[in-house]
Amino acid sequence: MFKHILITGGAGFVGSNLGLSLKRDLPGVKVTALDNLKRRGSELNLPRLKEGGVDFLHGDIRSPEDLDAAGNPDLILECSAEPSVLAGYGGSPAYLLNTNLLGTINCLELARMRGAAMIFLSTSRVYPMAPIRDLIFQETATRFELSGPQTLPGVSPAGIAETFPLDGARTLYGATKLASELLMAEYGEMYGLTAVVNRCGVLTGPWQMGKVDQGFMVLWVAKHIFGAKLAYLGYGGTGKQVRDILHVADLYELVRLQMDDLPRHQGQVYNVGGGPEVSVSLAELTALAQEATGQKVDIQAVPETRVGDIPWYLTDTAKVRAATGWAPRTSARDIVADIACWIEKNRESLRHIL
């Protein structure tokens, strides 16, 4: 079993939730959360980490010296990132590239020098945009759905599988993640790094500091609670774009299964998400948010589609299910209710962030 787990981005949404759950379930294991607190709201997680017995290390993965100060971890959960698909558009991509690519290389180097294993939080955004946009959809009353057989491999009503073609542009964010995955495979081959890649769809749950370009589930529920305006952006402005969603507690269950048998998952890349059963369109999310909060807000229709957007993404989880026996458990309705409950409980501190 692991003795010291380093979580990079450990004060972020995923990192803090994984760290606290690990410390709760494995109290004898040292858990260190390294974070530069770039994400607005991550600082709210510091008292939680302290209370839960997770050591906080203020550090930046762009700096090998900061990583060196983490000691001798035998497992690194790489959860730090600039996670926005819009990062770099209309400005410099420097922070994105230096964190998501060079920073990940620094983490790989730390793993190589310490002989540590790694679990990498990659993204469904490694799959290129144009082939997804070109899939054949039909419009139902509330969402886009795949219509009939598709011409590309790796796509079915079950979602996008690992065999979906990788040619084409995918956002700078997705490109940094794919490049990191490739390097991870090389470190596996050349240095014997034990690593597994989880290509996650939308992750969500309490303590996600949702904003317009990342964390839409929390943003949507928060705007219902705080009474601000929302907009259906793109695809005609009808809110029919679809994503699958995964509660962070369900992700934690998968990470634990992988940790228990990491050599078996060595070099594997898994698509991870809620799948068709746990998915929402924005229009459906509005109904769930109204149900959970008892509030209605104005929703503007903005027909023009934003750069970097796709109309539909569902995760085909067949490979990861077969390899681990894992399956997502939390329904979309329960996820929305959980988020609403968390915001209500922490109304005052969250009012200025969400």
Ligand X SMILES: NC(=O)c1ccc[n+]([C@@H]2O[C@H](COP(=O)([O-])OP(=O)(O)OC[C@H]3O[C@@H](n4cnc5c(N)ncnc54)[C@H](O)[C@@H]3O)[C@@H](O)[C@H]2O)c1
Q: Which of residues 180-209 bind ligand X (CB under 6 A)?
A: 200, 202-203
Cα separation values, 315 from 171, 234, 291, Å: 18, 22, 26
Distance of alpha carbon 250 from alpha carbon 269, whole angstroms: 18
Cβ at position 46, least distance to ligand X in Å: 10
Chosen residue from 4, 5, 12, 23 binding ligand X by CB under 6 A: 12
40 vs 296, beta carbon nearer ligand X: 40
Q: Which of residues 121-140 bind ligand X (CB under 6 A)?
A: 121, 123
Which of these, 158, 104, 109, lies nearest to 276 by C-alpha position? 158
* Residue 142 makes contact with ligand X by CB under 6 A: no
Chosen residue from 32, 36, 315, 330 binding ligand X by CB under 6 A: 36
Is residue 13 a contact partner of residue 248, using CB atoms and an 8 Å limit?
yes
13 vs 232, beta carbon nearer ligand X: 13
Distance of alpha carbon 278 from alpha carbon 286, whole angstroms: 15
Distance of alpha carbon 261 from alpha carbon 254, whole angstroms: 11
The bridge status of strand 144-146 relative to strand 137-139 is antiparallel
Chosen residue from 23, 30, 39, 247 binding ligand X by CB under 6 A: 39
Cβ at position 191, least distance to ligand X in Å: 22
* Residue 15 makes contact with ligand X by CB under 6 A: yes
28 vs 204, beta carbon nearer ligand X: 204
Extract the tokens encoding 75: 């497992």
> Rounded to the nearest 5 degrees, what angle is found at the Cα of 155, between the Cα atoms of 180 and 304?
80
R_g of the chain, CA atoms, integer Å: 19
Q: Which of residues 56-115 bind ligand X (CB under 6 A)?
A: 60-62, 79-83, 99, 103
* Residue 31 makes contact with ligand X by CB under 6 A: no
Which chain residues interact with ligand X by CB under 6 A?
Answer: 9, 11-15, 35-39, 42, 60-62, 79-83, 99, 103, 121, 123, 200, 202-203
